[in-house]
Structure 1
Amino acid sequence: MNQHLPKAIDGLIFDLDGTLWDASNTCTQAWNQTFKESGHGDHVLDDATIRSWSGMKVEKIFDQYLDFIPKSSQEEVLERYKHQESLFMKRYGGELFPGVKDVLRELSESFKLFIVSNCLAGYIENFISFNQLDGLFTDFESSGNTGLAKSDNINLIIERNELHYPVYIGDTVWDQEAAGKSNVPFIYAAYGFGKANRPEITIAAFDELRQLLLT
């Protein structure tokens, strides 16, 4: 076990996008369909843009990337997007990173598994359903469900499940900061979408969690 990890880990909390799977193309399609329906069809997103804002709360996404949408229309556009995202996600889903399903099953035999993501409500459920991962995760939480920051949602998972030595796995500096605010060790998924600030523990592929956590 890595010296920066607790010896008695009792929970693995995962970020979702950029850590477990890549659904950026599906989200791109959902956003572009939303723009067409809401009178902003001259604006088109690409997958790279979607990946760049992965992990951000939706309020910041509107401010930094979708400022062409008037504030008075943002709520309506968001509701349209929520509908489109659910439709596209159920149909197309995303692509799991190599080894995710098998490694999650192995990890679940030794640890309780959780997800905390800054996604919309219902997104995690669609992820689990699309990939047939029912029963693997003990609990999950999202900013779309609670309206809270990621660190607060990590704390909710810890409190609800009476965790003492959890670990958070994510792919962005925002994940790293959230884990730090919750005083939870952080494992940086370097294969994902973002960067981290001199992380103490890094994995270059998801299946490296086997050796890191199971040996």
Structure 2
Amino acid sequence: MKKRDSIIFDLDGTLWNASETVVKAFNDSIHAIGFDINVTSQTVRDFSGMKMDDIFSQYFGFVPKEKLKEFERIYAHKENQYLKESGGELFPKVKETLEKLAQDYRLFIVSNCMKGYIENFIGFFSFEGLFEDFECFGNYGLPKDKNIRLIVERNNLQNPVYVGDTIWDKESSEKAGVDFIYAAYGFGKIENPKIQIQSFEDLLTLEF
């Protein structure tokens, strides 16, 4: 088999857990438009991996249509502010493992997040030198499979693999024609994955 030249990572549930920061941004935004409603960090983990417009429509249906744009605008501002201040929690051995992987592979990120989210992740941990490129739903409104293809084509990747933790990640990588590795320690559940890791550092010993 042709040697792997690159690894593309999902972000939430794969590299870090920022649900406590994100839920604060959501709840403060809900309160800002006049609703005394709270979502939980578990809810945030449950919808992690979905496109942002699907999250707003499926989990925040109580927001009237005439207030939805305001809600999205407030949330985008608060998410950006809170992530800069508080960031999230890396899964164990992510930093050390990424540094080792970068010696042999080109590293990338594709997430269904809002614009600026990946930049905040990279900036919070000073990971600028580890990732060559990244793409997200917030940039062009594209689904994850098309963003994976964008990264592949834009960087002329020959044999990439995608690492993610949800069924949406698996389906997106398959649509993009990219092999998939399931991060079993993350937020989602996938039955009988072809390749899986129990911890992030397992990538160092995995034959893929």
After TM superposition, the score normalised by the length of structure 1 is 0.94
SS of the counterpart of 2:134? strand
1:14 aligns with 2:13: no
Q: Which residue is equivalent to 1:80?
A: 74
Pairwise mapping of residues 192-211 of structure 1 onto structure 2 (< 5 A)? 192-211=186-205
Unaligned runs of 5+ in 1: 1-5
Q: Which residue of 2 aligns with 1:140?
A: 134
The match for 2:154 is: 160
Q: Which consecutive residues of structure 2, in runs of 5 or more, have no partner in the other structure? A: none
2:19–2:44 CA contact under 8 A, matched in 1: yes
Counterpart of 2:165 in structure 1 is 171
Q: Which is further off, 153-162 or 73-82?
A: 73-82
Instruction: Find out whether 1:91 has 2:85 as its counterpart.
Output: yes
> Residue 115 of structure 2 corresponds to which residue in structure 1?
121
Q: Which residue of 2 aligns with 1:24?
A: 19
TM-aligned CA deviation for residue 185 of structure 1: 0.6
- Deviations, residues 24-56 of structure 1 (Å, cap 9, x unaligned): 00001111111111112x110111000000011
Does the residue aligned with 2:7 lie in a helix, a strand or coil? strand
Q: Separation in 2 of the partners of 1:35 and 1:213?
A: 46
Question: How many Å separate the matches in 1 of 2:2 and 2:196?
Answer: 18
Residue 3 of structure 1 is matched in structure 2 by none
SS at match of 2:200: coil
SS in 2 for 1:212: coil
1:19 shift after superposition: 0.1
Considering only aligned residues, what root-mean-square deviation do their CA atoms show, in Å? Answer: 1.1
Corresponding letter in the other structure for 2:87: G
Question: SS of the residue aligned with 2:48?
Answer: coil
Sequence identity (%) = 51
**Alignment size in residue pairs:** 208
